[in-house]
Structure 1
Amino acid sequence: MSSLPLSLALMALLPPAAPQARPISLHPENPHYFEFRGEPTILVTSGEHYGAVLNLDFDFLPYLDELQTRGFNQTRTFSGTYYEVPGSFKIQHNTLAPKPERYQSPWVKAEDGRYDLDRFDPGYFDRLRAFVSAAGERGIVVEYVLFCPFYNDDLWAVNPMNARNNVNGVGDFDRTEAYTLDHPELLEKQLAFVRRAVRELREFDNVYFEVCNEPYFGGVTGEWQDRIIAEIVEAESDLEHPHLIARNIANEKAEITDPNPAVSLFNFHYAAPEAALANLDLNKALGDDETGFDGNDDRPYRTEAWRFLLSGGALFGHLDYSFTPDHEDGSAPIETPTPGGGGPTFRGQLAFLKRFLESFDFLRMSPEKGFLSSVEPAGMADELAAMAVPDLRAIALYAPEGPRLSLGLDLPALPYRFEWIDPRTGAVLASGEFEGGDGVSLDAPEYDEDIALGIEARE
């Protein structure tokens, strides 16, 4: 059993909260967004690589403090049923790749060094609860990811569910069979873990469950995912307010067909705007909860965030490699071969995007570009992302390229004010007022990379 730092041990001894607070949910007025602690909510973060709980060398309190300072309200963490090894995916100082002796497994180690899948480690759940509690104190929602496929044999070789690593004699097959219904003996161990994890987190209002990270890799079947979902639902059947369940759909984009009705949040990775636009009729939340494999520069991730959230998305989570076990405050330099980005400058950009969206009555907004009568350059029209309230009294628009942009607008005959904003800094590049009507022209100031526009009717 792994020991906890004293501060976390004391947190773990706190009595459970009672009665259960209403957890984050879909907003009753607009289920494309969330309600959290009574407020309409969009989830935005730039977080560590999912090892905050399972890596005992990661002090998660400075990490959560940095998220809170930025105004972020979400973090994603893996349960520990999967972890990586140094060098995985060329990520330097990977929080998801703990030193072997510093990996906190949900399962107890037997005397011979193998794991006993019938015995859970209380130290793991103490640390998990301390993490979720600390996040909740800072207004941060935890996406708790139950499982993850094994992308290569090196990851399966070290996993407790591999027969060579457990005393239970289960998992004696190829890694691509681990998340199917073909092996009832392993499935029962997985379901037992789900029941225990759900029970441990039942009173927290700042958590939801994602079934499996990237199940479109590694042989994960839809039937197995449905079985895990059913177990979560059954485990919370006595709760007045069950926790949200999320399902990871695809990289980039896909149209969701025949969704499991128990799922409230559908997540994409490296998402195109179409991932949101094509699935708005589900009337559920849509998330882009992982980026980070497009180089070290900020621009591709900033563009992805603006375009996805202004296309109806409710969640954006960036994978920020500046959080490491030696720099839990997110101050580590990011260099190749690490495949992604992050860092203080990018977190500032993402924090501004969150504030920009929250400055609108976003609960009433939906993707809309019908008010555009013309766009110059013409090729920019399909690249723009925009949202508006139904009466067009408020509009948010984003252009991912420059250096010039001219818009023709068809708007109600109302007085309006506008601001052109630099998404890199939040600086107002130009502002003014105009009278609405058909064919109104609005020209952006010259800009370098991308630009945002806010338009609101004057009272």
Structure 2
Amino acid sequence: MKLKIVLINWCLFFIVSVISAQPIALHPTNPHYFIYKGNASLLVTSAEHYGAVLNPAFDYVKYLNTLHREGMNYTRIFTGSMYWEIENDFGITYNTLAPAPGTALAPWKRSQEPGNLNGGNKFDMEQWDEAYFDRLRAFVAEAEKKDIIVEVTLFTSIYNDKTWSNCPAYPDNNINNTIRDYRKVHTLDNGNLLKYQENFVTKIVHELNEYDNIIYEIQNEPYVDHQISRYQPDMWEKSSLNEERRRVDLASAVSLEWQKHILDIIVEEEKALPKKHLVAQNYCNYIYPVEDVDPDISIINFHYARPGAVHLNYGWNRAIGFDESGFSGNDTHVYRLQAWMFIMAGGALFNNLDYSFAVGYEDGTLEQKAPGGGNTLLRKQLYILRNFIEQFDFVKFSPDMNVVALSPGAYFQALSDNKKQFAIYLGGGICNSLHINLPKGSYKAQWTNPADGTSAGWETIKSKGSTIILDVPDYNTDIALSIIKTR
């Protein structure tokens, strides 16, 4: 009998060790969440504006230390393969994605030929710059030490001719005679640029294969330089203003064809490599019922997402991400509400653009002119969200539209396992009495303030299987409720 127990324990230890040695993956029992180092995970952060690797002046060690210290477990980087920005682009005064002229690191070496419009010599896309890959690997390795997941965004849309003329693939900035029309960059009809894109993806996949803490994203906002527009249904109002609010932009067929080509390269290259990594695809802003998800895509990413983006796409059985916010002004509570609403709807990932990070301010203390916010307080509040979810065995959670019968005056989102554990969030208004439906039994309940993490003591709830009305403590903006069955 003792030998049998020892063997069982050894087998369990072996299984956990194998799982722990694998890259972050979708959780095998609930693919709406992640598993990393053997633990169920969700990803929550307020992080810099994607330039941590390509901007050599940015102290990424100090930055990652800040994220780790403040409980953030995710960051997103642009590779600099086709794109970086100019200072004051998008109204950002101190922009990590806008390195000083002539200093940006790209995957390619600079040639001996002067004349790069952004400063320095032109690039030679036939030669790798090993200094770039050294910094990339060092960044990912440092993040891995701190259990921070890195989304490696391979490509991004190009927003206008001015930005395009700043990029390494712009023909005046390299010696390789690339195309001039930025609207063709992310299509299969892009001349010799396709070869350089293919070579780059292959190189990245091999350079980063050893790391467990990376996710690949094919392209940031592919619906910008190749878009089609759809309109959300609205039976009541047809004004032109409302049509603008209802419009959602999606990637066009030529964009999707190119994205599929890049995806296939990642998958085929990794077949011969030891580790396989998740791949994310960015579909649109706001909310939309995604029409098709490739079997090799594991993460469905939205920008500026609404909770309905989770509900409409939950049946795809993938992790759903709110992969960029940060254009809604400076008020911290706005991004806190966005994060809580999305994660409590069943989302697995939230990322805010945090403009308090910049060169010289890698500790996240800069106050600057920018379209969004970000500060230590917001990061603290997002960590409170992580802790709130992680107090549960949340891998058993799914969205629960039945536990709340009525939340007069406030919007709600709820998660539960429909049996023993329930999580409810109220935001966007004040609710004084919450009407809930719980299975018959005894429960302990606790209210939590998402702004500061303070909680009242646990109270006992007894349910006979009918609706219960709870008095809601006084709160200003939002409040969360934990309910655990005791018998």
TM normalised by structure 1 equals: 0.92
Residue of structure 1 equivalent to 2:64: 64
Residue of structure 1 equivalent to 2:170: 162
Paired with 2:158 and 2:440, the residues of 1 have a C-alpha distance of: 58
Residue of structure 1 equivalent to 2:25: 25
SS in 1 for 2:217: strand
Residue of structure 1 equivalent to 2:421: 394
Q: CA deviation at 1:162?
A: 1.2
Residue of structure 1 equivalent to 2:285: 251
- Once the two structures are overlaid, the 10-residue window that deviates more, 125-134 or 298-307, is 298-307
SS in 1 for 2:102: helix
Q: Tell me, yes or no, if structure 1 residue 421 matches structure 2 residue 442.
A: no
Paired with 2:393 and 2:142, the residues of 1 have a C-alpha distance of: 29
Residue of structure 1 equivalent to 2:469: 441
Q: Does structure 2 conserve the Cα–Cα contact (< 8 Å) formed by 1:296 and 1:340?
A: yes
Residue of structure 1 equivalent to 2:400: 368
Q: Tell me, yes or no, if structure 1 residue 127 matches structure 2 residue 135.
A: yes
Residue of structure 2 equivalent to 1:324: 358
SS in 1 for 2:127: strand
Alignment counterpart, residue 379 of structure 2, candidates 316, 329, 347? 347
Q: CA deviation at 1:121?
A: 0.2
Amino acid at match of 1:96: L
Q: Tell me, yes or no, if structure 1 residue 111 matches structure 2 residue 118.
A: no
Amino acid at match of 2:447: W
Q: Does structure 2 conserve the Cα–Cα contact (< 8 Å) formed by 1:429 and 1:445?
A: no
Q: Tell me, yes or no, if structure 1 residue 182 matches structure 2 residue 182.
A: no
Paired with 2:444 and 2:211, the residues of 1 have a C-alpha distance of: 42
SS in 2 for 1:309: helix
Q: Does structure 2 conserve the Cα–Cα contact (< 8 Å) formed by 1:292 and 1:320?
A: yes
Q: Does structure 2 conserve the Cα–Cα contact (< 8 Å) formed by 1:180 and 1:224?
A: yes
Amino acid at match of 1:361: D
Q: CA deviation at 1:429?
A: 4.7
Q: For 1:87-107, what per-residue CA distance to the aligned partner results, in whole angstroms no more than 9, with x for missing partners?
A: 100112100000013211111
Q: Does structure 2 conserve the Cα–Cα contact (< 8 Å) formed by 1:21 and 1:203?
A: no
Paired with 1:422 and 1:396, the residues of 2 have a C-alpha distance of: 13
Q: CA deviation at 1:33?
A: 0.6
Q: Does structure 1 conserve the Cα–Cα contact (< 8 Å) formed by 2:407 and 2:431?
A: no
Residue of structure 1 equivalent to 2:42: 42
Q: CA deviation at 1:184?
A: 3.8
Q: Tell me, yes or no, if structure 1 residue 143 matches structure 2 residue 143.
A: no
Matches within 5 A, 1:173-212: 174-212=181-219
Q: Does structure 1 conserve the Cα–Cα contact (< 8 Å) formed by 2:109 and 2:125?
A: yes
Alignment counterpart, residue 225 of structure 1, candidates 259, 276, 290? 259
Residue of structure 2 equivalent to 1:101: 102
**Over aligned residues, Cα RMSD in angstroms?**
1.4
Q: CA deviation at 1:413?
A: 2.0
Residue of structure 1 equivalent to 2:300: 266
Q: Structure 1 unaligned segments of length 5 or more: list them.
A: 1-19
Q: Does structure 1 conserve the Cα–Cα contact (< 8 Å) formed by 2:444 and 2:458?
A: yes
Residue of structure 2 equivalent to 1:359: 391
Amino acid at match of 1:40: A
Alignment counterpart, residue 220 of structure 2, candidates 213, 217, 221? 213
Paired with 1:410 and 1:127, the residues of 2 have a C-alpha distance of: 53
Paired with 1:21 and 1:165, the residues of 2 have a C-alpha distance of: 42
